[in-house]
Amino acid sequence: MQRDWIQLGCATALLLFFATATPDPNFIVCPFRSLTGWLCPLCGMTRALCALMQGRLAEALVLHALSPLVLLALLIFGGKAALRLAGLPMPRRIPRMELRACVLLFFAYGILRVGLH
């Protein structure tokens, strides 16, 4: 139960951050990008999630095309904890094959971004 509260709190805090923050586009926090100058598979995700949570879908997709997928994962992460805390029935588990497909999608997208940059 304590884990569920922590999980729900983390998801809520992240969603609130993304909904209210306006990150500086010139500030680079990615160590890979700082060292190589190349975009990593997650570069731009923070700014993209902020744009997405603030209703700027086109901007979010330009910053990182997979940001809606990450937002969905964050909502599922927090939602499952909320369901457990409320004692409601849990939805089915996400099959490993779908998780692997998401990981491969991020990997392929990362390679494409580095190749095009």
CB neighbours (10 Å) of residue 46? 19
- The total number of structural domains that make up the chain: 1
CB neighbours (10 Å) of residue 62? 14
Structure tokens at 57: 């879908």
Give me the pLDDT at residue 33, please.
Answer: 81
Give me the pLDDT at residue 117, please.
Answer: 66
pLDDT tens digits, residue range 62-93? Answer: 989 999 999 998 998 899 889 989 988 877 77
98 Cβ contact list (under 8 Å, min separation 6): none
Domain range for 68? 2-116
**Using an 8 Å Cβ cutoff, are 63 and 41 in contact?**
no
pLDDT tens digits, residue range 2-61? Answer: 999 999 999 999 999 999 998 887 777 788 888 888 777 788 888 999 999 999 999 999
